[in-house]
Amino acid sequence: MLPNKHFIIIGAQRSGSTLLQNMLEEHPAVYMASPSRPEPKYFMQNEVSYKEYLDQFFAARSGETILGEKSTSYYETPLAARQIKATISDCRILAILRNPVYRAISNYHFSRSFGLEKRSLKGVFVDQLPSPSQMTTSVNPFHYLERGLYCRHLEVYRKLFGEQLKVIVLEELLRDERIVHGVSNFLEISAEPLLDFHREMGKTNNLEYPKTEASIIAYLFDYFEAPNRDLAREYQLDLSYWQGPTETQINCIKENFRE
């Protein structure tokens, strides 16, 4: 048994992992890896050391009872899962997932904002134009659809960590305090500091629908329908927040659409 308790947030990019990190960072019993930007991604290498991990990212800890890290790239890197398990066998894994339709579109806009993506939304999701060459990033920035096949990426974590893996749905976390209690129970920390953050967050944090042509939204909902059913069944998740597209969503999308 290692002298410290650990958890790692892995969720898919653009799924609310930073929000979850910020919430947990407010807890007096939690120390999050520092610096957090760029993300540590320590376990994506072949040679790792627990002492080096502590010295590099947790040197300034002072009395916190649980150490946390957020590295979203771990979610799609089986090597990272194996290295975490080999180095911190009792580490707890928090995977936060977002409706894959809006996650994919948000991921697309994120890539465009960094100058990586030049294709149009239609070119990517409908015409399926070939992506540019792989950039020098930790994971492929153009895997917008593949990254939303959550069961595929979580499988290695489920096999290695079992009940040490907890899957959270972003849309549910935003609206339901019971999810916050679930996180606190999973990490064995008090809920109240997390609830204080959650209540303040609820006053300002609403998911916006991306500015996207309605036909593309409909196409993506169809694409992810079967994988979402598999995810709900495998992890006993209520994915009712992911149903759609609703009339309200379509109207909002049409109103905001810009080519």
**Cα–chain center distance at 134:** 22
Please state the separation of Cα 46 from the chain's center in Å: 23
Q: How many domains does the chain have?
A: 1
The CATH number for 206's domain is 3.40.50.300
Residue linked to tokens 């609820």: 202
Tokens representing residue 115 in the block: 């100058």
Residue with tokens 């910020």: 22
In the three-class reduction of DSSP (H, G, I as helix; E, B as strand; rest coil), residue 122 is classed as helix
Using CA atoms, how far apart are residues 26 and 29, in angstroms rounded to an integer? Answer: 9
Report the distance separating Cα 19 and Cα 31, nearest Å. Answer: 15
Q: Write out the two tokens for 23.
A: 């919430």
Q: What is the pLDDT of residue 132?
A: 79
| Domain interval for residue 251 | 5-256
pLDDT tens string, the chain, 259 residues long: the values are 467 899 999 988 899 999 999 999 999 999 999 988 899 999 999 999 999 999 999 998 988 889 999 999 999 999 999 999 999 999 999 999 999 998 999 899 888 888 888 898 889 988 888 987 766 677 888 899 999 999 999 999 999 999 999 999 999 998 899 999 999 999 999 999 999 999 887 654 455 555 678 888 888 999 999 999 999 999 999 898 898 765 555 454 444 333 2
**What pLDDT shows up at residue 253?**
43
